[in-house]
Structure 1
């Protein structure tokens, strides 16, 4: 089937048993998706998903920005007396990543089972509700518990959005789609940084400023429920469940919209390799996925140290260097303005350079900028190096989000990515305590030496083990 007319007959096979025809049908769905030009309708889907990612990152990244407020309120302490103390900022960060770990490793299968659209919506509502309750906690125990609960929902959402995005974006714009998604998502960084700068040092209507930062994110994110009605289910996922009539209906509507905007007939679908309908957890340990799984586990264990070691700790690190809470939040607000610029710069290279090469180069930049950051107290140098670290980290982030989704087939994509991604959450739990320990005993320099070592291992894992994916269909990469 290589024509629209032929592909539109997929519905006739909705009740067919798995076999050769089913394989051809699924391949036809993928080929039809991959030939779509980058019109307004395609970008609209990307933007809608990206708005969900914005609120997700707001909730994920306010951890570091409200930390000084939690310390000021006497709920948490900046450091801990023991390595795994439960009353410090490290325990708050660890609670979030513990929830993220459970959400990604234990619940990643939900999007494979129930669909991308439903899990995208309900996991967001879950963590919004949990964070609302957290905003009214007055003890470290209550704060940490509800941060763990919200982390469960955020973990599921992270996996679902990436999977959803990779399956809706045609192969020729997959990298750019992730770049735009991350640019919109990371716009949350300057927003939460600026709100924290305005609110955290103060109180309003009897509530500490940090509580308002949390509540504003939850109230704003609730409107994603309204956006859900404009998102279709992934045709690739529907086809993998042998719901070919539904997949064809969704794709036909999208094709009609795209063709009207394109102004001429759509190009015919190209060839696409048929892939199996069914898949399970054990498939990620078979060739060619076994090597990719090991690579991504190593990558995620150590990339988290570099990304969140800076993002979640920068206000606290600056305070440790003798800068006031208000000034540190002002500096981080300025640095945060660079967060969406990383993916926007990445947009220019997203579908021009191999993803693995981009990750390696940005990890090297992270090492150099981080070590220099640890040695300066100049406001200008702090901001400039902070911007470099932010740009490098965010380019790595959008690149690996696209990369890891490409390395597994549709039938196991969400659960496989959830499994490898969960190692970053486990790493963040322990690395937050290690960073607190390093900060206490070795200062800011010790923290960035630790981060540099982690990023060197990222370079080795991706550089030596990563496959090439540029310009290939998801099915071709899965061969």
Structure 2
């Protein structure tokens, strides 16, 4: 085959095959447990505060612990994904998460719980950015957005599940064991199942080619081509492209033109987007308690509100390939600011549920769009490092948020809290508008051409 026809060009001209669909489902199930872990703290925060007699500072530390672990995990696993491979990074992260999530179920006190949640966070921390990178490497341009959104739609089923599980398990305490402990066990055992499913996934052929492992890349892409011919018949000829340079790239390249602009954009983006996305998800049940609702009732309202997460993710499927992703991120960020203000000021039950549901629907169109987007705007050799490195800041920001937003909630009320959230989301929209490139339907190599 022509020396200028790259592995990437051969992958990009393929239709969707059985292997693409299998990878999408396996990645989506892994992301399921990332979402489960993120929303677990907020759902159980009020329960653990009462059971373990946590003061406000201890509660903030408990809410922050998993996010701080995720910050460290995203950095470490992201670099691992670029150095040792996307698949190996997946397997290590799931193994670490499962072990410490199970250990957390046996916590004897607040210190052990905080430590185990921190270490479980280290394991699961890089799941979204490495998943974005892997699917971005694997999927053809015309289907990249839709299938990545499909993986996240599957993952967001974890959010209402987390809410309804808490609503059922916390009062029931099956076998005399506290319900919150069962929720940690569920996360651990589920991750083991996903580990086994992912063991059969291929390594990213784009990454193999970028590392100079041409024969392995050829073997992977040949399997995809064979599947495509079996399902769809003869394939179109690949378009000749620029030869990929082999070997790891230097991280410093992200801070020099032409990549510096995008690195700055995603750094600002991830520091701020957490105010709107994770701030709402982790604090909504606590906001409801602050409004005067009993704990069990607040868990029910949160579960109903959280139904918007999978609904929003599903609604993104027909949109992400039809609307330029840059503009989709901007529009949904602004809409989240408006619904967040309405939720913060709402006083009646129906307004709380409607505004919360609308907020979560919009937030997951936003989330799916930016997860696709962030994996499109960096070159293959640095995609894992860049995506995970900037994304890790969202985990750090989420870890700090309880120490900022909880005092704000208790001192100034939910209206002021969500005004701060709205300002942050407005700045997110401005950041992407000024610095973001267009990506929808374009080849990754074209988006990242120097």
Q: What TM-score results when the alignment is normalised by the length of structure 1? A: 0.90
SS of 1:374's equivalent? helix
In the alignment, what sits opposite 1:153?
123
Matched, 1:34 2:4: no
Partner of 1:368: 338
Aligned equivalent of 1:176, options 146, 153, 162: 146
Check if 1:47 corresponds to 2:25: yes
1:13 aligned partner: none
Alignment map for 1:305-454 (pairs within 5 Å): 305-454=275-424
C-alpha separation in 1, matches of 2:185 and 2:54: 19
Is structure 2 residue 66 aligned with structure 1 residue 96? yes
Q: Do 1:75 and 1:139's aligned partners in 2 also have CA atoms closer than 8 Å? A: no
| 2:6 aligned counterpart, secondary structure | helix
Distance 2:415 2:170 in 1: 27
Listed as ranges, the matches of 1:17-416 within 5 Å are: 24=4, 28-77=6-55, 80=56, 85=57, 87-88=58-59, 90-262=60-232, 264-278=233-247, 279-416=249-386
- Compute the displacement of 1:358 (Å): 0.5
Cα-to-partner distance string for 1:270-296 (whole Å, 9 max, x where unaligned): 233334324110110121110000011
What is the deviation of 1:75? 4.4
- Distance across 2 between alignment mates of 1:128 and 1:392: 30
Does structure 2 retain, via aligned residues, the 8 Å contact 1:275–1:475? no
Where structure 1 has 5 or more consecutive residues not aligned to the other structure, the ranges are 1-5, 8-20
Shift of the 49–106 alpha-carbon distance from structure 1 to 2, 3 Å rule, reads: closer
CA distance in 1 between partners of 2:19 and 2:395 (Å):
34
Deviations 1:13-57 (A, max 9, x none): xxxxxxxx6xx3xx5100111111124432222112111111222
Question: Which whole-Å deviations, capped at 9, do the CAs of 1:117-167 have from their partners, x for residues lacking one?
Answer: 121122111011111111221322221111111111111323321111111
Shift of 1:201: 3.0
What is the SS of the residue equivalent to 1:339?
A: helix
Q: Deviations over 1:353-404 (max 9, x none)?
A: 1111111111111111111111212222211111111111111111111111
Distance 1:288 1:261 in 2: 40
Q: Is the 8 A contact 1:75 1:138 kept in 2?
A: no
- Structure 1 residues 273, 343: CA separation in 2 closer, same or farther (over 3 Å shift)? farther
Alpha-carbon spacing, 1:44–1:409, altered in 2? closer, same or farther (3 Å): same
Asked if the contact 1:272–1:476 (Cα under 8 Å) also holds between the matched residues in 2, the reply is: no
Compare 451-460 and 217-226 and name the one that shifted more: 217-226
Where 2:292 maps in the other structure, the secondary structure is: coil
How many angstroms does 1:223 deviate by?
A: 0.8
Q: Distance in 1 between matches of 2:45 and 2:429?
A: 31
Q: CA deviation at 1:325?
A: 1.1
CA contact (8 A) 1:292 1:407 kept: yes
Change in Cα spacing, 1:72 to 1:202, as seen in structure 2 (3 Å) is: farther
Partner residue, 1:468? 438
Distance 1:189 1:214, change over 3 A: same
Q: Quote the Cα distance in structure 2 between the aligned partners of 1:31 and 1:298.
A: 32
C-alpha distance in structure 2 between counterparts of 1:327 and 1:334, whole Å: 11
Please give the secondary structure, in 2, of the residue aligned with 1:323. coil
Q: Distance in 2 between matches of 1:94 and 1:45?
A: 31
Aligned length: 448
Shift of 1:229: 3.3
Please say if residues 38 and 282 of structure 2, whose CA atoms lie closer than 8 Å, have aligned partners that are also in contact: no
Query: Please, which moves more after superposition, 223-232 or 173-182?
Result: 223-232
CA contact (8 A) 1:370 1:448 kept: yes
Note the C-alpha offset of 1:427. 1.3
Normalising by structure 2, we get a TM-score of: 0.96
1:69–1:209 contact (8 Å) kept in structure 2: no
1:304-359 per-residue CA deviation (whole Å, 9 max, x = no partner) reads 11101100111111111111111111111112222112121111111111111111
Contact 2:78 2:389 in 1 (8 A): yes
- Distance in 2, matches of 1:378 and 1:223, equals 42
